[in-house]
């Protein structure tokens, strides 16, 4: 995309200080997000998606810490900023929608009170200004203003998630980071919320980083896709390119694990085994113990991200100079 990226993540590394050896939860992740772009991040549970997201938003808490790399947002490195400097940017310039709205929202405060607290923390507004803006953002996500008086437990799961999205849009930020906001919803509510998020993004022009473990969820909504495994990005590229011609064996395994509602019935193969313990990572390619096309070099050589058409894949089969193998 033309122009400088809104967000540029370079060689981001996050470690958990546990015992003698730190656990590398995020290891050398790099990607860009441009204005108005929708970036999906997918992978199995425990692959480092949420940890990466919290590192970008500077919301990590001990024993997790950023061990290296940079996160430049609008030309400023968030990693080196103080809490006071970050508080100026949070909600106003970028905001975060947490995974569980029931846990993220204050259970003993009304929606109106929580919206008011957020606005008061980032400026001086009259009671009428706060009320008008609260009504406006609720209408954006399809919730009647009568629910400003409601408490979180009085709302359905889908309404709580939409209320969280409304709160994230109070200041119309340039970037909204979403950590599996649909994970607690049924498939109908998931689809409805995804459509609404995409419509809001197109109407207001903000960029989105959307983290999920469900590849099918972002297939029709994201522009770019990052597939993560064991703390690394193992495939990245335009979403349609990754879905139509997945290069990495892990990406193909994830796609084969989801049923299609169209076309002939096919057997779901899935991926044998389980992700590695991040404290005891295998040598060479991290996916090789589970890979159906591994060969001898995979156990010793750590692959880089190699170009495969418009995408990039962390697989030795895609390394320059290697003969095309039968997949």
pLDDT of 326: 41
Res 321 pLDDT > 90: no
* 242-to-141, 248, 259, 293 alpha-carbon distances in Å: 30, 9, 17, 19
Confidence of residue 257 (pLDDT cuts 50, 70, 90): confident
Length of the chain counted residue by residue: 327
More confidently predicted of 73 and 271: 73
User: What pLDDT, in 10s, does the model give residues 179-230?
Assistant: 988 877 888 888 888 899 999 999 999 999 999 988 878 888 999 999 999 9
CB–CB of 229/286 below 8 Å?
yes
CB–CB of 242/215 below 8 Å?
no
**Segments making up each domain of the chain, as ranges:** 7-93+171-318, 94-170
Q: What average pLDDT does the segment 158-186 reach?
A: 90
* Residue 86 burial (10 A CB sphere; 0-12, 13-18, 19+): middle
- Across all residues in the chain, what is the average pLDDT? 91
CB–CB of 116/134 below 8 Å?
yes
Instruction: Please give the backbone phi and psi of residue 177, each rounded to the nearest 5 degrees, phi first.
Output: -105, 125
| Rounded-to-integer distance, Cα 23 and Cα 149, Å | 44
Res 64 pLDDT > 80: yes
Q: What average pLDDT does the segment 37-52 reach?
A: 94
Q: What average pLDDT does the segment 78-103 reach?
A: 90
pLDDT of 263: 63
Res 267 pLDDT > 80: no
CB–CB of 48/55 below 8 Å?
no
Q: What average pLDDT does the segment 132-149 reach?
A: 95
pLDDT of 325: 47
Res 324 pLDDT > 70: no
* 179-to-45, 100, 209 alpha-carbon distances in Å: 12, 9, 8
The structure's pTM equals: 0.91
Confidence of residue 327 (pLDDT cuts 50, 70, 90): very low
User: What pLDDT, in 10s, does the model give residues 283-320?
Assistant: 999 999 999 999 999 999 999 999 999 999 999 999 98
Strands (E), 153-230: 175-179, 207-211, 224-229
**CATH classification (class only), 7-93+171-318:** alpha beta
């Amino acid at each position: 995309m033309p122009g400088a990226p809104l967000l540029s993540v370079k060689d981001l590394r996050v470690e958990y200080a546990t015992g003698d050896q730190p656990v590398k939860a995020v290891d050398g992740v790099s990607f860009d997000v441009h204005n108005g772009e929708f970036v999906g991040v997918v992978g199995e549970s425990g692959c480092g998606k949420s940890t990466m997201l919290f590192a970008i938003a500077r919301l990590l808490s001990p024993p997790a810490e950023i061990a290296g790399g940079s996160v430049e947002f609008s030309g400023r490195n968030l990693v080196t900023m103080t809490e006071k400097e970050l508080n100026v940017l949070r909600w106003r310039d970028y905001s975060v929608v947490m995974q569980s709205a029931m846990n993220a929202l204050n259970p003993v405060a009304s929606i109106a009170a929580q919206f008011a607290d957020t606005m008061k923390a980032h400026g001086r507004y009259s009671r009428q200004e706060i009320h008008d803006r609260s009504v406006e953002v609720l209408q954006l996500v399809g919730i009647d203003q009568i629910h400003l008086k409601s408490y979180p437990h009085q709302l359905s799961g889908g309404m709580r998630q939409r209320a969280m999205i409304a709160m994230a849009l109070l200041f119309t930020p340039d970037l909204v980071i979403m950590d599996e906001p649909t994970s607690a919803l049924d498939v109908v509510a998931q689809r409805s919320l995804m459509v609404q998020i995409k419509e809001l993004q197109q109407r207001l022009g903000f960029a989105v980083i959307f983290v999920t473990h469900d590849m099918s969820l972002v297939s029709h909504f994201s522009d770019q896709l990052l597939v993560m495994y064991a703390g690394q990005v193992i495939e990245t590229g335009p979403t349609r390119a990754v879905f139509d011609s997945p290069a990495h064996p892990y990406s193909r395994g994830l796609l084969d694990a989801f049923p299609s509602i169209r076309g002939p019935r096919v057997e779901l193969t899935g991926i044998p085994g389980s992700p590695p313990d991040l404290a005891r990572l295998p040598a060479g390619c991290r996916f090789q113990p589970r890979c159906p096309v591994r060969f001898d070099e995979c156990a010793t050589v750590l692959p880089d991200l190699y170009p495969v058409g418009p995408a990039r894949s962390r697989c030795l089969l895609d390394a320059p100079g290697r003969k095309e193998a039968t997949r």
